[in-house]
A and B are shown apart, each in its own frame.
Chain A
Amino acid sequence: MKILRLAFKNLLRYKRRTLFTGLLIVVGVVAVIVFVGLSDAFKRAITGQITDSMLSHLQVHRKGYTASIDNLPLDRMLPAKAYGRLAAILDGDPAVEAFSGRIRFGAMLSNYAQTTNVRLIAVDPSKEQAAAPLLASRIKDRTRTDAILAPGEVALPEVLAKGMGLKPGDTVVLVANNKDGSVNGMTFIVAGMVESLMGPGGRDGYLHIDDAMALLRMDEPEISEVAVRVKNFRDVDAVAAKLQETLAPMKNQAGQPMFEVHTWKQLSPFFNVVRMIDLMTLGVQTILIAVVLISVLNVMMMSVYERVREIGTLAAMGTRPGRIMGLFVAEGFSLGLVSALGGSVAGIAVLWILNLSGVEVAFGGGNQVFALAPAVSPGQVASAALIVVGISVLASLQPAAKAARLAPVDALRHV
């Protein structure tokens, strides 16, 4: 404590210099905290939207399905028996909150005047709502509020519907080939418009799974993919690994594994954006380290240079070299500590103001607007503060060692 007290007094000796250096570090800490807060909020918002309104947390397919997912192959579906076994496993897993079997296929869409291709996902609305709870929020102008859609209805991709001049309540015809190649057509009522989202399935329409079975002339349900929502998002990788292990012994007739399991990270290209954001966070932290290192090193070197005679006096009076070193390290530590605390408080205040004023990020030419809620965890704030304090101590070691090494007789002669 006595060393820290003396360190604070010495820092206040050059008030302006200490203030400017401290402010520089404070700005660095604020930049890190605000960047981490905003980038985390952005990641949370986009990841939440992708998983909660489309992909869910992880998906199970028949082995080889995802390799040809763009073709929406009907010959790589999970047979009813395999799906039943998978459903039993998922039902028995306490980490799984909900799951939803989907049929994905391509069809021709006609409004009696124009015809185009459309990609569709057939779902059981109640199960899908549990596995992807934000899907309902993506379907605009819905005709019903109790469910995302009912049998006989289709929710069409917004861009496609606009292009064909379709609106909710209109009648359309869907024509599809089943896996044997025979063609079937059925009429549907437009139940809403699905907003686009990045990633696979982001521009697909939705219909009821019973209608898909009828359109594709399935006697029993064959499932393209099973979307699985876990209870705790942080456990996704663990749940996926455990499920993979459980499903591994189940083989097809050729003796190959029957299932493949992918998490949202493997399915969504946004995960690469997440990794890029994490890399940028590391970059910002590196800049903070450089700012602290250079500014504290500079201040401490000047401090030693300006106080050579004083160091000589302390040494002459009998202050041990280690204690002289400790005095200067304590100055660096104090500067770092006060700046880190100030920066943390200021950073949290800036995030609070941003939350009050609201931060929105628009995608797709403004079609999708995400309201961000920037926030940082205590751990993230502590991490930024610890980096500053640690680097401050590190930066003051060399000047402090120089001070401790000064020969008293030479230091006392210094002018």
Chain B
Amino acid sequence: MTSDYGPLSARAFPMNIVTFDNVSKIYRMGQVEVAALRDVSFAIPKGGFTALIGPSGSGKTTALNLIGCLDSPTRGEVTVAGQAVKGLGRRSGADFRGQHIGFVFQDFNLLPVLTVYENVEYPLLMIRDQPNRQRRLAVERVLEAVGMADQARKYPAQLSGGQKQRVAVARALVGTPELVLADEPTANLDSQTAFMVISLMKQMRDAFGTTFVFSTHDPRIMEQAELTFRMVDGRLADDDSAHSQEAAT
């Protein structure tokens, strides 16, 4: 069985959008090897609102990078939307991300020379080459959804941190990807704004049916997740670390 992006993993499971199977990631820093992830296995269900939690250096960002096809594992297998990450080249990786994954960054990473509208339009214009009318409808819909339609002509420098992250969420969602990854999306926001952004992401999950996976070390934010994976020193905290909030309550 193959996809446009290479061989599909035999371990791909229709109900899980992400699977980690004994995944290790080792970085070499000079003569020293640093293991960022060690034999990590987990699965993230489709349509979930999942958090990777843990202290700095625990491997959250490395795991998100592997899920986002930005990096490949040293050992083990990562499967995202049925696609084995290891088989992706630079170009096919870019194509896969452009079609299936949206990103929200800690520092928002909006393009400063583009307006809010143009920032949200970018993935459709420069990556998916969608026609003008289709683009306009999609951008207007998603800006409306995140409550930024009235700010469309502003530049990022004219927005507050919370507004910038709303725009970043809109940009991640505009191509209706299956999966949105957010690395510490609230780290640069005050607690009230952080809570609003997480609530917005959850609303968007409900509205668009997109799977959200985010990392955080803020206890109040992690409470919002439906499923959490606690990471410590590159490992899942224990075998039962996958913790369903609903199950817990």
Smallest CB–CB gap between A150 and chain B, Å? Answer: 80
Q: Give chain A nearest CB distance to B142 CB in angstroms.
A: 14
Question: What chain B residues lie within 8 Å of A317 (beta carbons)?
Answer: 97-98, 102-103, 122-123, 127, 171
Interface of A is mostly: helix
A318 touches B95 (CB 8 A): yes
B28 within 8 A of A: no
Query: Given A2-B126, A323-B126, A409-B71 in contact, is the A315-B113 Cβ separation under 8 Å?
Result: no
Answer whether A320 and B70 are a contact pair too, CB < 8 Å, given A310-B111, A313-B105, A409-B65.
no
Residues of B in contact with A, size category: 20 to 34
A-facing mask of B68-103, CB < 8 A → 1, else 0? Answer: 101100000000000000000011001111110111
Decide if B125 touches A2 in the complex (CB within 8 Å).
Answer: yes
How far, in whole Å, are A2 and B102 apart by their CA atoms in the complex?
A: 22
| Closest A residue by C-beta to B106 | A412
Report the bound CA distance from A102 to B105 in whole Å.
90
Q: How far is the CA of A363 from the CA of B94 in the complex (A)?
A: 69
Residues B97 and A409 in contact, CB atoms below 8 Å apart: no
Q: Which residues of chain B have C-beta atoms less than 8 A from A2's C-beta?
A: 125-126
Stretch at the interface among A9-17, A77-85, A179-187: A9-17
Chain B residues, CB < 8 A from A321: 90-91, 94
What residues of chain B lie closer than 8 Å to A9, measured between beta carbons?
113-114
Please tell me if A319 contacts chain B, counting CB pairs below 8 Å. Answer: yes
Interface size on A, residues (CB 8 A): 24
The reply to whether B70 and A318 contact each other, CB–CB distance below 8 Å, is no
Instruction: Give the residue of B91, B101, B105, B171 whose beta carbon is less than 8 angstroms from that of A412.
Output: B105
Q: How far is the CA of A310 from the CA of B111 in the complex (A)?
A: 7
Smallest CB–CB gap between B129 and chain A, Å?
9
* Min CB–CB distance A3 → chain B (angstroms): 8
Smallest CB gap from B109: residue in A:
A313
| A408 neighbours in B (Cβ, 8 Å) | 70
Please measure, in the bound complex, the distance between the C-alpha atom of A307 and the C-alpha atom of B3, giving whole angstroms.
34
B203 to chain A, nearest CB (A): 22
* A residues 43-60 touching B (CB-CB < 8 Å): none
B7 within 8 A of A: no
Cβ of A119 within 8 Å of any chain B Cβ, yes or no, is: no
Give chain B residues whose Cβ lies under 8 Å from the Cβ of A309. 107, 109
* A369 at interface, CB cutoff 8 A: no
Beyond A9-B113, A9-B114, A409-B70, whether A318 also contacts B99 by CB under 8 A is: yes
* A residues less than 8 Å from B109 (CB atoms): 309-310, 313, 412
B55 near A: Cβ within 8 Å?
no
Q: Which residues of B contact A322 (CB under 8 A)?
A: 91
Q: Is there contact, CB below 8 Å, between B98 and A318?
A: yes
B112 lies within 8 A of chain A by Cβ? yes
Cα-based distance from A314 to B122 in the complex (angstroms): 9
Task: Give the CA-CA distance A92 to B235 in the complex, in Å.
Answer: 100
Indicate if A108 sits at the interface (CB-CB under 8 A).
Answer: no
Residue positions of B touching A, CB distance < 8 A:
65, 68, 70-71, 90-91, 94-99, 101-103, 105, 107, 109, 111-114, 122-123, 125-127, 171
Q: Can you sample 17 A-B contacts with CB below 8 Å?
A: A6-B126, A10-B113, A13-B113, A313-B103, A313-B109, A316-B68, A317-B97, A318-B98, A318-B123, A318-B127, A319-B127, A321-B90, A322-B91, A407-B70, A409-B70, A409-B71, A412-B70
Kindly list 12 other residue pairs between chains A and B, CB separation below 8 angstroms, not including A13-B113, A316-B70, A323-B126.
Answer: A2-B125, A309-B109, A310-B109, A313-B105, A314-B126, A316-B68, A317-B102, A318-B96, A318-B99, A321-B94, A409-B65, A412-B105
